[in-house]
Structure 1
Amino acid sequence: MYSKDEVSQLKQQFWTAFGQYIAPQLSAEGLRVNWINYKTGLKHVYFKMQADKRSAVIAIELTHPDPGIQELFFEQFKEFKNIMHAALEEPWTWELHAQDEYGKTISRIYKQIDGVSIFNKSDWPSLISFFKPRIIALDEFWNDVKYGFDALK
């Protein structure tokens, strides 16, 4: 078991290492981007990467507090599903109105791998190999479709 400080420190070390590894990668628009805290430019729409002791997840999270508006965003993403799958080259899981770890209603589109741990440094190459191509593909996808969400701003 790790102490709270050790858990925090290991997570910080991983995300720092990942950030340094991916930093040279420019966005689809040719700009520098903070990949770990990716900004979609759209309130309540987030690209999230998370890892814990058992798995890793990369997701598009829709967090609008109004479930109806959240569903509109989800439906808009469904309109672009073919473009998304072409960019990612794999199917992702689609969840409308799920609960996050805090009991808040969110919708999300995500890919998860199991059997990896952020606390095992020998898993870090696998985690980086999981996150890097997917966040880059999400950026390419978002660059192509973000204007399709202007009406929902």
Structure 2
Amino acid sequence: MYSKEETSKLKQDFWTTFGRYMKPILSADGEKVSWANYKTGIPGIFFKMDTDNRHARISILITQADPTLHAAFYELFEMQKQMLETTLGENDWAWEQNTTDDYGQPISRITKELKGISVLRNEDWPTLISFFKERMVALDEYWSMAKYGFEALV
């Protein structure tokens, strides 16, 4: 069992390692990007990676406060679902239109989860890095084509 401080340090070490590993990889548009803090450029749309002692998760989060715009964002993702799945090379992401975050705020999310893996075990780090890298690079490729439709909504 790890203390809160040890857990925090291990997570920080993992994300530092991930950032170093991803640093030389350019975006689909040929630009440098902070993969761990990916910026979509659209307020209320985020690509988020998270891991703990039980699983890893990568998500497209819609947190837009305006309900009409929030719904329009989700609808546009649905309309582009085939393009997203083709770019990701996967069609088993979980789609949740109306849910809440840990603070009770309304969100929508599209999520892929890897269970039975722990950021607290260094031997799991290559699997975690591979899981996140493959999907973030694919999400970036998708976003380089899809973002213009979202910009038109804002």
TM-score by length of 2: 0.96
1:49 is paired with a residue whose SS is strand
Residues in 2 aligned to 1:130 and 1:114: alpha-carbon distance in whole angstroms: 11
Amino acid at match of 1:137: A
Deviation (angstroms), 1:117 = 0.6
Residues in 2 aligned to 1:48 and 1:108: alpha-carbon distance in whole angstroms: 10
Extract unaligned runs of 5+ from structure 1. Answer: none
Residues in 2 aligned to 1:98 and 1:114: alpha-carbon distance in whole angstroms: 21
Paired residues of 1:98 and 1:106 also in contact (CA < 8 A):
yes
Q: RMSD of aligned C-alpha atoms?
A: 1.0
Residues in 2 aligned to 1:149 and 1:17: alpha-carbon distance in whole angstroms: 32
State the match for 1:110 in structure 2: 111
1:29 and 2:36 correspond: no
Residues in 2 aligned to 1:150 and 1:115: alpha-carbon distance in whole angstroms: 37
Runs of 4+ with >6 A deviation: none
| 1:35-87 deviations in Å (ceiling 9; x for gaps) | 00000000010000000111100010000123332111100111111110110
State the match for 2:17 in structure 1: 17
Deviation (angstroms), 1:2 = 1.7
Amino acid at match of 1:25: I
Residues in 2 aligned to 1:148 and 1:127: alpha-carbon distance in whole angstroms: 31
Residues in 2 aligned to 1:10 and 1:3: alpha-carbon distance in whole angstroms: 11
2:48 is paired with a residue whose SS is strand
Residues in 2 aligned to 1:125 and 1:2: alpha-carbon distance in whole angstroms: 21
Residues in 2 aligned to 1:101 and 1:88: alpha-carbon distance in whole angstroms: 27
Residues in 2 aligned to 1:66 and 1:96: alpha-carbon distance in whole angstroms: 14
Amino acid at match of 1:96: Q
1:39 and 2:36 correspond: no
Which one is further off, 99-108 or 21-30? 99-108
Deviation (angstroms), 1:147 = 0.3
Deviation (angstroms), 1:121 = 0.8
State the match for 2:150 in structure 1: 149
1:133-148 map, 5 Å: 133-148=134-149
| 1:128-150 deviations in Å (ceiling 9; x for gaps) | 11000100000000001100112
Paired residues of 1:67 and 1:97 also in contact (CA < 8 A):
no
State the match for 1:126 in structure 2: 127
Residues in 2 aligned to 1:67 and 1:3: alpha-carbon distance in whole angstroms: 40
Residues in 2 aligned to 1:67 and 1:77: alpha-carbon distance in whole angstroms: 15
Amino acid at match of 2:34: N
Percent identical: 51
